[in-house]
């Protein structure tokens, strides 16, 4: 069993860009982390390649920030974002 920690919630998705807008509610994310996005019709895992805030590229984002992340599949508002641990 893979251990995961919920770190945020998707609040918007930009299909042309393949970018999810995520509110980090708990914990932090950095480039290179593996994330799992889970919702009623969403369920995939990917490596985090980029994090942006207002078009500025970041290496790490912390709790309370609203970030844009490139995603490999469609996501929907209210999908949960988990950080895969270990």
The residues spanned by each domain of the chain are 3-85
pLDDT category of residue 2 using cuts at 50, 70 and 90: confident
CB 52 within 8 Å of CB 6 = no
Instruction: Please state the rounded mean pLDDT for residues 38-57.
Output: 96
Number of Cβ within 10 Å of residue 47's Cβ equals 11
Distance CA 86, CA 69 (A): 21
pLDDT digits (tens, 9 = 90+) for 49-80: 999 999 899 999 999 999 999 999 999 999 99
- Global pTM? 0.95
What per-residue confidence (pLDDT) applies to 86? Answer: 74
Between β-strands 43-47 and 51-53, what pairing exists: parallel, antiparallel or unpaired?
unpaired
Distance CA 34, CA 55 (A): 22
What per-residue confidence (pLDDT) applies to 1? Answer: 79
Level-2 CATH architecture, domain 3-85 = Beta Barrel (2.40)
Instruction: Please state the rounded mean pLDDT for residues 24-47.
Output: 97
SS3 53: strand
């Amino acid at each position: 069993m893979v251990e995961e920690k919920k770190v945020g919630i998707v609040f918007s998705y930009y299909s042309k860009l393949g970018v999810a807008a995520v509110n980090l509610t708990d914990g932090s994310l950095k480039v290179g982390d593996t994330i799992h996005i889970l919702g009623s019709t969403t369920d995939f895992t990917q490596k985090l390649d980029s994090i942006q805030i207002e078009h500025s590229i970041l290496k790490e984002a912390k709790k309370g920030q609203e970030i844009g992340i490139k995603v490999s599949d469609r996501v929907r508002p209210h999908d949960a974002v988990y950080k895969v641990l270990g």
